[in-house]
Amino acid sequence: MIIKSLGYLGFNSEKLDEWVDFGTRVVGLQLYERSDDVLTFRMDERQQRIIVRRAPPDTGWSGWEVEDAAALEVLRVRLTDNYVPWTELDTQALALRGVCAGISFSDPAGNRHEAFHGANIVPAPFVPGRPISGFRTGDHGLGHVVYQTPALVKLQAFFEGVLGFGLSDYFYEPVSVAFFHVNARHHSLALAQTPNSAIHHVMFELNQLDDVGQGYDVARAEPGRVAVTLGRHINDLMTSYYVRSPDGFLIECGWGGRSIDVDEWEPFELAYGPSLWGHDREWPSKEAEQEADAIRDKAREDGLRLPVQVAKGNYNAGYEPLAWWEQNRRKSLPEIRADAAEADAAE
| Stretch touching Fe ion by CB under 5 A, among 14-22, 91-99, 157-165, 245-253 | 245-253
Which has the closest alpha carbon to 64: 153, 181, 227?
A: 181
CB of 227 to Fe ion, least distance (A): 12
Looking at the Cβ atoms of 47 and 235, the one nearer to Fe ion is 235
Q: How many angstroms from the chain centroid is the CA of residue 185? A: 9
Mark the segment that binds Fe ion (CB under 5 A) among 26-34, 133-141, 252-260, 301-309.
252-260
Min CB(172)–Fe ion separation in Å: 18
Pick the closer one to Fe ion by CB: 42 or 185. Answer: 185
Amino acid letter, residue 137: T
Beta-bridge partner residues of 198: 148
CB of 235 to Fe ion, least distance (A): 10
Minimum distance of Fe ion from residue 146's CB (angstroms): 6
Question: Which residues have CB under 8 Å from 329's CB, separation 6+?
Answer: 305
**Closer to Fe ion by Cβ: residue 203 or 260:** 203
Note whether 252 binds Fe ion by CB under 5 A. yes
Q: Minimum Å distance from CB 244 to Fe ion?
A: 15
CA angle at 217 for the pair 44 and 293, rounded to the nearest 5°: 100
H helix or E strand, kind and range, residue 316: none
Q: Is 50 helix (H, G, I), strand (E, B) or coil?
A: strand
Secondary structure (DSSP) of 196-249: S-EEEEEEEEESSHHHHHHHHHHHHTSTTTEEEEEEEESSS--EEEEEE-TTS-
Give the span between the Cα atoms of 117 and 46, in whole angstroms: 13
Window 197-236: residues binding Fe ion (CB under 5 A): 203
Nearer to Fe ion, 75 or 142 (CB): 142
Whether residue 136 contacts residue 207, with contact meaning beta carbons closer than 8 Å, is answered with yes
| Sole window of 36-44, 111-119, 211-219, 251-259 interacting with Fe ion (rule: CB under 5 A) | 251-259
Give the residue with the Cβ less far from Fe ion, 28 or 102: 28
Tell me 161's DSSP state: I
For 114, the enclosing helix (H) or strand (E) is strand 112-119
Nearer to Fe ion, 117 or 232 (CB): 232
Question: Residue 50, interface with Fe ion (CB under 5 A)?
Answer: no
In the bound state with Fe ion, the residue whose beta carbon lies nearer, of 182 and 203, is: 203
By beta-carbon proximity to Fe ion, the closer residue of 65 and 252 is: 252
Among the listed ranges 47-55, 102-110, 206-214, 247-255, the one in contact with Fe ion (CB under 5 A) is: 247-255
Considering the complex, what minimum distance in angstroms separates the CB of residue 17 from Fe ion? 27
Phi/psi-derived region of residue 107, left when phi > 0, alpha when psi is between -120 and 50, beta in every other case: beta
Shortest Å distance, C-beta 258 to Fe ion: 12
Q: Which stretch binds Fe ion (CB under 5 A): 84-92, 224-232, 248-256, 304-312?
A: 248-256
The candidate with the shortest Cα–Cα distance to 202, out of 152, 269, 148, 128, is 148
Total residues at interface with Fe ion (CB under 5 A): 2
For 10: left if phi > 0, alpha if psi spans -120 to 50, otherwise beta; the answer is beta
- 140 neighbors 262 (Cβ within 8 angstroms): no
Nearest residue (CB) to Fe ion, 84 versus 203 = 203
- The 107-136 contact track toward Fe ion, x by CB under 5 A, reads ------------------------------
Q: Per CB under 5 A, which of residues 185..204 are in contact with Fe ion? A: 203
| C-alpha distances in Å from residue 168, one per residue of 71, 74, 80, 116, 190 | 23, 24, 27, 24, 10
Closest contact distance (angstroms) between CB of 161 and Fe ion is 24
Q: How far is the CB of 250 from Fe ion (least distance, A)?
A: 9
Residues lying near Fe ion in the complex (CB under 5 A): 203, 252
